[in-house]
Chain A
Amino acid sequence: MRHNFILLRHELRVLIITPSTYIAAVLFLGVMGFFFQELLAGYAAAPSDISPAVDFFKLFFFPVFFLTPLLTMRSLAEERRMGTIETLMTTPVTSIEVVLAKFSASYLYYLAMWLSTLSFHYVLYRFAANPQVIDPGPLLGGYLFVALSGLMFIATGIFSSAMTRSQLVAGLLTFSLTILLTLGLRKLADLALFMTTPGDIVNAVAAHVQIFQHADDFVSGTFDSRAPVFYVSTAAFMLFLSVLALDARSARS
């Protein structure tokens, strides 16, 4: 594992020198800033007791659907398309180290983008007449949720990128899997098939993998340890599959 730091530093360097990194960041901040401004406009028109942070984090799925594929689709698919995976894998590094480095770099970038939205709340705090408009509880809960769920979404993107040489296919696969994990799991709980026996295990599992519900819980201050376990274990499973996919596809090339 001694190469982890070398690989991660290289991945971050590539992110820093790639123009698309900055384009994605500007688009992300622009779109999220627009939503935030719309939220505030709504609050100005109709005062509400709910903190703006609560409504802001209800929009978490938007960047997840569009940003995660953009962030991760390049990682392994591009290495395979270019052939640079061959020169990389013939140095004394393991597939696990490569996958972890790609994942860590994308995850750190994802976090950095989300953390940059703290500036919205700071601007609101700075210029709002009432400092109590900023409620630290939902903010903390919201960012914690974003950090935890991001593990799973980014790992899903890395897995998709390990499955193909095409960035486009990797991006579409990430998008589809993300829809499946969010909206698909929500639909699972709605299916009458699992609702017949309230105590059954499938029903119980389906009830605990509701990502929208997790977002609401974290923002409202309810911390359920099953949610972090779900995100961390799903991320680990996706990364494990990524390592297998990387090894298997290399063996066939």
Chain B
Amino acid sequence: MTEADATIEVEHLVKHFGRTIAVNDISFSVRRGEIIGFLGPNGAGKSTTMRILTGYLPANAGVVKICGKSVASSPLQTKRHIGYMPENNPLPEDLRVREYLTWRGHLKGLGGRRLRERIEAVLEQCDLRRAHRRIIGTLSKGFRQRVGVADAILAEPDVIIMDEPTIGLDPHQIIMIRDLIARLRGRMSVIISSHILPEIEATCDRVLIINHGRIVASGTPDQLRQEFIDRTGYEVEVHGELAAIRRALEPLGDGSTIDVGEGSPDAAGFYSISVQTGAGRDHGEQILGLLGQAAGVRVRALTRHQATLEEVFLAATRRSWETTTPLKGDAARAAIAATDSGHAPHPGS
């Protein structure tokens, strides 16, 4: 990735609150038009990282650049490139939706005809047209979330950061937000955090999993599966002697295990058996081939079970708990020592 492509560049970011390290030497970058999902348990440092990116929180060490400009040294310039929807989506209770968006547009440098056009566009995109005259304090959770999203995309910023944008929404509204974010692909860089993992998988190009303030995994969902899930499961519906089926699948090797379940066939005489293989390559064709060659064995169906992002998330965070201990990061320790002695190791970002 060249520097010109990157709208967000984060290098060795550290943030601590007293002795508690919230962000521990994080580095990543985001290309223009890319959609990134932040995953992590509660308290992992997702919201803190997002707040530092927006310039709301200062970092203790490291560098954050938005569209090539440092958040620390040019905060007003970088804020012009960011649309942000915080966690819990705070909104003023007394204003009407259109009044709020108009005010926010003015703050973000929009005005006149352009502002009117953008307000109409976001009201349409976020399905808020029928609520635009309503007072925000009287809106349901779903409407409020959509007002927050409308505000984030109002000025068509280069970077959109949304902390839990789909929380509290019903499935229709979640699909609407997902489609909306998908339409931003290629034009704006988007970072979203969510606990709804299928949402992240459906929406994001790349996933960053954060735990204990560190990035413990980064890549596309498929890459993460390969890295963290060492088994692939297959469900085979097969007719024949169990012993013959077992013998037929023995050449699979690769540490494969075969589970024939309860051992009783269905009404048509087909057993449903589960085969676990190594995750290095797809064994589906081999399984079909081996069973097809076996005498007295017929196959009705083969299903491959892809590991969910949830399994990847659990595996990645479990591995990070096993291999890292909080408060032991070198960069973080250096930052605390430097702060305690009155010297920052890097200019704060």
Contact = CB atoms under 8 A, between A and B. Distances in A.
- The answer on A and B forming one complex is yes
Contacts of A82: 90, 92-93
Interface in B258-276: none
A250 B57 CA distance: 7
A93 B106 CA distance: 11
B94 A91 contact: no
B108 interface: yes
A85 to B, nearest CB: 8
B151 interface: yes
A252 B107 contact: no
A251 interface: yes
Given A86-B56, A250-B56, A251-B58, A6 B86 contact: no
A239 B57 CA distance: 21
Interface in A237-253: 250-253
Q: B76, B90, B91, B104 — which one has the most chain A CB atoms within 10 A of its CB?
A: B90
A157 B77 CA distance: 31
Contacts of B99: 13
Interface residues of B, number: 30
Interface in B57-113: 57-58, 76-77, 79-80, 82, 84-86, 88, 90-95, 99, 103-104, 106-109
A131 interface: no
A153 to B, nearest CB: 25
A167 to B, nearest CB: 14
A90 interface: yes
Contact of A17 (B79, B94, B107): B94
Give the size category of A's interface with B: 20 to 34
B317 interface: no
Given A90-B55, A251-B57, A252-B17, A83 B107 contact: no
A86 B89 CA distance: 10
Contacts of B80: 92
A90 B104 contact: no
Contacts of B145: none
15 contacts: A10-B103, A17-B94, A17-B95, A82-B93, A84-B91, A84-B92, A87-B86, A90-B79, A91-B79, A91-B104, A91-B108, A92-B108, A92-B109, A94-B76, A252-B17
Interface of A: 3, 6-7, 10, 13-14, 17-18, 82-84, 86-94, 250-253
